[in-house]
Amino acid sequence: MQVRAFDTMTFLQPFSRPGLRFLRLLIGIGWLFFLPALVVAQQEAAPDLLSQTDEIFHQMSAMTGLPIKEPLKKQVVSRAEIQKYLTENLHAETTPAELHAQEATLCAFGLVSREFDLEKFLISFYTEQAAGFYDPKHKIMYLADWIPAETQSMVLAHELTHALQDQSWDLEKFLHAARDNDDAASARQAFVEGYATAAMMQQMTAPLELAQLPSIAPLMEMVIHQQFEEYPTFSKAPYFFRVQSLFPYVEGIGFIQVGLQRGGWKSLNSVFANPPDSTREVFDPQTYFDYRSLPSLALPRPAALAGLEFLTENVMGELGYYALLGQLISEEEAKTLGEGWRADRYLLYEHSGGKNYTLVARTRWASAEAALTFFRDYQTILTHKYPELTAAKGSTQDLFIGAAANGQTLLLRQGDECRWAEGVPATQADAMLAWLRTL
């Protein structure tokens, strides 16, 4: 489950298709978290801001090895102009049907209530944190006119690295290349954002090499969390949204730091041609750099649900299940069990009348023991989602059968897999259970 985001300073195209792309839609917190409260104070742009931008652009090119292929377009804009731009972009890039499918998926997984208004939340999230950004669609660097001159260089180092990435690799094409897999799209974004973050940090720590320093991801996460109170909408958002929004920066820079240790910026640039295709590879960079393969799972549409309206299908990934467990079980459980994720796929259907859904999912874990732990955790999650849920005859230590207001729930653990279906019409429950067993 993935949120399409652009960071506080960087714009990356929002939705490209129905499905959970929340990470790329939300404004990631970005680097304002590393700046004092003065950063968001209104202030005239420095007179030499445009020339400063060109100077830093050349510095970042020399450091990363990404060439400058054309002059940088840049424009100084006000906070109101940026807010207007971001809001209009949400409506231009995301259809009502796409927003509905995403909102429905959040609701079906128990991450938000039925009353949750995704569009309203996203617009609030956008405008609360709006600042300067690089726009790869129009190839323009938008410079915020309220950022104090003394902090501009740090902000620009991150953003101008995105401009360099775009000139060499076409960020829109790169980030849209995994349209049918939200987990792969999240991994690509973590690479892009982690790269820009690392470049910024390298400029700050010079002459020390980032590759020679201990992992800075834990320190970054701590500093970011300390700044939550600066952003009320973000700090009050469900855990799922916060984790999804921070992932590209916190885990992304960890991935990049390992890549730098493996061969520096030149070898790291080759990752653009062969990017990670799962968030597992970002959480555990050795999986990517040591060429460890991960399984994939098929999940055909069951004939028993043919009468329901199909909404969407996708991959949650390790990031999605980490956030799910963190919000509905505990953050400690997310850290312990999340790394056991190996593969998944889900399908979502909507009942007539709306707001009632049938969710079908298949997950694979690192071991049968990890699958059993998730099986038990998910039973707990089901009780949160459906307070009226009652166990039915036939449940065993590896099978839970229950009844809730929206239909039957079937949860099966089979070896290292957990498979389930929620909101199944009672007349189709037996057929669905038989189908789950055959996967």
Which residues, in sequence order, are CB contacts of 101 under 8 Å at separation 6+?
Answer: 18, 19, 311, 312, 348
What does the alpha-carbon distance between residue 121 and residue 130 come to, in Å, rounded to a whole number? 14
What does the alpha-carbon distance between residue 416 and residue 35 come to, in Å, rounded to a whole number? 45
Judged against a pLDDT cut of 50, whether residue 33 lies above it is answered with: no
Residues 261 and 330 in one domain: no
Residues 153 and 186 in one domain: yes
Backbone CA torsion sign across 52, 25, 232, 246: negative
Paired strand residues for 267: none
- Considering the domain boundaries, does residue 105 fall inside one? yes
Domain count, the chain: 2
- Considering the domain boundaries, does residue 296 fall inside one? no
- Considering the domain boundaries, does residue 188 fall inside one? yes
Residues 281 and 363 in one domain: no
CA distances from 264 to 58, 62, 127, 195 (A): 19, 13, 37, 12
State the amino acid at position 428 in one-letter form.
Q
Instruction: Identify the domain boundary among 289, 317, 345.
Output: 289
Instruction: Identify the domain boundary among 289, 319, 340.
Output: 289
- Considering the domain boundaries, does residue 395 fall inside one? yes
Q: What's residue 133's pLDDT?
A: 84
Residues 146 and 259 in one domain: yes
What does the alpha-carbon distance between residue 368 and residue 398 come to, in Å, rounded to a whole number? 11
Cα three-residue angle 308-314-316, rounded to 5 degrees:
120
What does the alpha-carbon distance between residue 345 and residue 297 come to, in Å, rounded to a whole number? 6
Q: What is the pLDDT of residues 58-76, one digit of tens each?
A: 999 999 999 999 999 988 8
Burial track 8-27 (b if 16+ CB lie within 10 A, e otherwise)? bbbbbbbbbebbbbbbbbbb
- Considering the domain boundaries, does residue 199 fall inside one? yes
Residues 119 and 245 in one domain: yes
Residues 274 and 316 in one domain: no
Residues 173 and 260 in one domain: yes
Residues 17 and 99 in one domain: yes
What pTM value is reported for the model? Answer: 0.88
CA distances from 137 to 91, 133, 278, 378 (A): 16, 12, 25, 41
What does the alpha-carbon distance between residue 125 and residue 30 come to, in Å, rounded to a whole number? 13
Q: What's residue 25's pLDDT?
A: 36
Residues 271 and 318 in one domain: no
Q: Quick one: pLDDT band at residue 84, thresholds 50, 70, 90? A: confident
Residues 224 and 126 in one domain: yes
What does the alpha-carbon distance between residue 324 and residue 328 come to, in Å, rounded to a whole number? 6
- Considering the domain boundaries, does residue 425 fall inside one? yes
- Considering the domain boundaries, does residue 295 fall inside one? no
Instruction: Identify the domain boundary among 235, 260, 289.
Output: 289
Residue range(s) defining the domain that contains residue 200: 2-289
Residues 140 and 41 in one domain: yes
- Considering the domain boundaries, does residue 294 fall inside one? no
Q: What is the pLDDT of residues 334-345, one digit of tens each?
A: 999 999 999 999
Residues 238 and 381 in one domain: no
Q: Quick one: pLDDT band at residue 111, thresholds 50, 70, 90? A: very high
Distance of CA 362 to the CA centre of its chain: 20
